Amino acid sequence: MKKIELVDLKAQQDKIGDKIQKAIARVLSHGRYIMGPEVNEFEQKLVDFTGADYAISCASGTDALLLALMSIGVGPGDAVFTTPFTFIATAEVIRLLGAVPVFVDIDSHTFSIDPDKLKKKIQKISTEKQLRPSCIIPVDIFGLPADYPFINKLTDEYGLPIIADGAQSLGSQINDKMACSLTEIATTSFFPAKPLGCYGDGGAVFTKNPELHEKIISMRVHGMGTNKYDNVRIGINGRLDTLQAAILLEKLKIFKGELKQREAIAHKYRSVLGNCVTCQRIPEGYKSSWAQFSFVSIFKTKIKKKLEKYNIPTAVYYPKPLHLQKAFSDLGYKPGDFPVSEAISDSILSVPMHPYLLDDQIDMVTQTIRDGLN
Ligand SMILES: *Cc1c(COP(=O)(O)O)cnc(C)c1O
């Protein structure tokens, strides 16, 4: 049997490698490595794909979050509500700007920020008046959109903008509306292992707001005004490479098909594993992009050992919730503060998930998991 990979980038290359080589060769021949024509073309394709009003490509998913926060002016004294069950980047950028990440525990079934707890935390911070509530960053964990129908209502109620961290969820949907078009601002990542990955770092910000679009375009290139040497605000060097845009244009052409394959594989996993481990709940009307296939089991360690014995790779996203990371020790959180996130971190496991998993490989994974439970 072909070796099972957690994410099989080689299998994708077998399919479109020659097209990607040609795309790279075109960039080498025109030589416009910075903001070449492919960058604009890719942004237009992202708008078409997501239905967002504007897409601004940038250097990484982390820069996308940073640019989004900078564009709405987040800084010292601001509280940014987010989940501790995510990758460090989500909360790191908040701290980088001198604002304070205010964590809210997750829902034990969807692993996304718990909407009721979020509302209570916003009320608490508003009453305490120590910090100014400034925005919310829900995370589309493992590719599943957060509860935007509820969270968007909080925008109306409290006037807080929402930045959806869609690093893992490009291509996912709620009721036929694509991720990254569900909120006023959203971000994604093109890190190689994400559903739509390039061959290096890359990311994008999406918005419905023309003013924010203007600002982000400027901030992406050192806060430029009419040109690069006219600087009207503080920004960063946050551009997407032309080479990466060229690669992404080719990959985007097959992305819809890949999402369908991910969906079919997830369906197979769930139908066999659903009665022996706890899979992520996919609410009615939601479609995940299946960046990861993750499940919860009290026998996680046993299952992991068994899979390793048969050379099947696994991963744990995320072994330590952010409130317990040393980097955030000054925020004063302690074990027990977010019991759901902590319990899920202890019992979650991710198994191979990519569009090129073959039926015998899927059977091998599910059978080994079932054996591991006996
Ligand atoms: C990957 C990821 C990021 C960061 O993206 P990079 O492109 O690696 O900078 C941010 N948030 C989440 C949830 C991620 O999974």
Burial class of residue 263, CB neighbours in 10 A (0-12, 13-18, 19+)? middle
Nearest ligand 1 atom, CA 194: 1
Pocket residues: Cβ below 6 A from ligand 1: 60-62, 86-87, 89-90, 139, 165, 167-168, 189, 191, 201, 203
**DSSP secondary structure of 70-136:** HHTT--TTEEEEE-SSS-THHHHHHHHTT-EEEE-PBPTTT-SB-HHHHHHHHHHHHHH-SSEEEEE
Nearest ligand 1 atom, CA 65: 10
Decide: 245 and 41 in contact? Cβ < 8 Å: yes
Q: Could you tell me the distance, in angstroms and rounded to a whole number, from the CA of residue 57 to the centre of ligand 1?
A: 14
Average pLDDT over residues 276-285: 97
**DSSP secondary structure of 131-163:** SEEEEEE-B-GGG----HHHHHHHHHHH---BE
Nearest ligand 1 atom, CA 202: 7
The encoded tokens of residue 351 equal: 């198994």
Q: Could you tell me the distance, in angstroms and rounded to a whole number, from the CA of residue 115 to the centre of ligand 1?
A: 22
pLDDT at 214: 97
Global pTM value: 0.98
The encoded tokens of residue 250 equal: 């080719």
Q: Could you tell me the distance, in angstroms and rounded to a whole number, from the CA of residue 237 to the centre of ligand 1?
A: 18
pLDDT at 228: 83
Can you name the residues that pair with 295 across neighbouring β-strands?
A: 279, 349
| CA atoms of 86 and 169, how far apart (whole Å) | 13
Structure confidence by residue, pLDDT tens digits, 51-109: 999 999 999 999 999 999 999 999 999 999 999 999 999 999 999 999 999 999 999 99
Q: Could you tell me the distance, in angstroms and rounded to a whole number, from the CA of residue 90 to the centre of ligand 1?
A: 7
Average pLDDT over residues 31-41: 98
Q: Could you tell me the distance, in angstroms and rounded to a whole number, from the CA of residue 89 to the centre of ligand 1?
A: 6
pLDDT at 32: 98
Q: What Cα–Cα distance (Å) separates residue 51 from each residue in 46, 47, 48, 75, 176?
A: 8, 5, 6, 30, 11
Strand-by-strand arrangement of the 348-351 sheet: 278-279, 293-296, 348-351
Nearest CA to ligand 1 atom 7: 61
Query: Residue 14 — pLDDT band, cuts 50, 70, 90?
Result: very high
Structure confidence by residue, pLDDT tens digits, 260-271: 999 999 999 999
**Which of 63, 168, 289, 294 is the best mutation target for the ligand 1 pocket, counting ligand atoms within 8 Å of the beta carbon and taking the most?**
168
Decide: 133 and 126 in contact? Cβ < 8 Å: yes
pLDDT > 90? residue 374: no
More confident of the two residues 372 and 91: 91
Nearest ligand 1 atom, CA 60: 7
The encoded tokens of residue 334 equal: 């302690």
| CA atoms of 19 and 332, how far apart (whole Å) | 51
Q: Could you tell me the distance, in angstroms and rounded to a whole number, from the CA of residue 276 to the centre of ligand 1?
A: 30
**Which of 90, 113, 198 is the best mutation target for the ligand 1 pocket, counting ligand atoms within 8 Å of the beta carbon and taking the most?**
90
What's the residue count for the chain?
A: 374
Sign of CA dihedral 253, 2, 262, 113: negative
**Strand-pair category, 78-82 with 132-137:** parallel
Nearest CA to ligand 1 atom 2: 167
Q: Could you tell me the distance, in angstroms and rounded to a whole number, from the CA of residue 11 to the centre of ligand 1?
A: 23
Q: What is the mean pLDDT of the chain?
A: 97
Q: If DSSP codes are grouped into helix, strand and coil, which group holds residue 200?
A: coil
Looking at the chain, the number of H-run helices and the number of E-run strands are 12, 13
pLDDT at 227: 87
pLDDT at 319: 96
Nearest ligand 1 atom, CA 140: 13
- Asked if the bond preceding 318 is cis, omega within 30° of 0, the reply is yes
Structure confidence by residue, pLDDT tens digits, 106-162: 999 999 999 999 999 999 999 999 999 999 999 999 999 999 999 999 988 999 999
| CA atoms of 23 and 5, how far apart (whole Å) | 26
pLDDT > 90? residue 331: yes
Query: Residue 215 — pLDDT band, cuts 50, 70, 90?
Result: very high
Nearest ligand 1 atom, CA 190: 7
Average pLDDT over residues 242-259: 98
